[in-house]
């Protein structure tokens, strides 16, 4: 089952990355990037790096994609939907159905009548304390500087995207 899940997450990540590159609509590109990051988080989970998967989803999928969408909306960067839009919906629906079918088959094959219900899996990956200790002691100043630079870049993007008042 492990090679199947790896191949599933790898193909899903590659397909979403191709969607990022080939899409002409900026919002659809951001959504494909979100799916690509979710696939990469699935690969991290397969590697027993649960903290990295959680941080990837929290920071990149949560914050960075939201920032991308806000900037796209502020700049009013709309792509024109092409004639392949209907084909993309068909491919996306087929892929979603295949992933759902694979999840159901995996769930059914693991929980049979002869198997006992297992307890929650033990986390064997890195702990949060191992990351937090050097982050808040040794690397406190660089983390603060990077946070300040991200704040400045966000304010700069908002300032650049503002339109001048009609009278000026």
Give domain limits for the chain.
2-125, 127-168
pLDDT on residue 35? 92
Q: How far is CA 89 from CA 98, 101, 158, in A?
A: 14, 18, 33
**Fold of the domain built from segment(s) 2-125:** 1.20.120
pTM above threshold 0.95? no
pLDDT in tens, 15-65: 998 898 888 888 888 889 899 999 999 988 888 878 888 888 888 888 888
Average the pLDDT over 67-72 and give the result: 78
């Amino acid at each position: 089952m492990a090679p199947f899940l790896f191949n599933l997450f790898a193909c899903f990540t590659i397909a979403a990355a191709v969607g990022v590159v080939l899409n002409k609509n900026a919002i659809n590109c951001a959504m494909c990037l979100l799916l690509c990051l979710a696939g990469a988080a699935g690969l991290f989970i397969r590697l027993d790096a649960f903290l990295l998967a959680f941080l990837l989803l929290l920071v990149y999928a949560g914050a960075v994609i939201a920032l991308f969408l806000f900037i796209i909306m502020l700049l009013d960067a709309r792509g024109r939907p092409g004639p392949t839009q209907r084909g993309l919906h068909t491919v996306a629906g087929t892929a979603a159905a295949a992933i759902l079918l694979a999840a159901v088959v995996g769930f059914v094959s693991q929980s049979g009548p002869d198997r006992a219900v297992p307890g929650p899996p033990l986390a064997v990956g890195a702990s949060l304390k191992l990351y937090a200790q050097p982050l808040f002691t040794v690397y406190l100043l660089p983390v603060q500087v990077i946070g300040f630079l991200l704040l400045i870049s966000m304010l700069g993007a908002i300032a650049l995207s503002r339109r001048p008042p009609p009278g000026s």
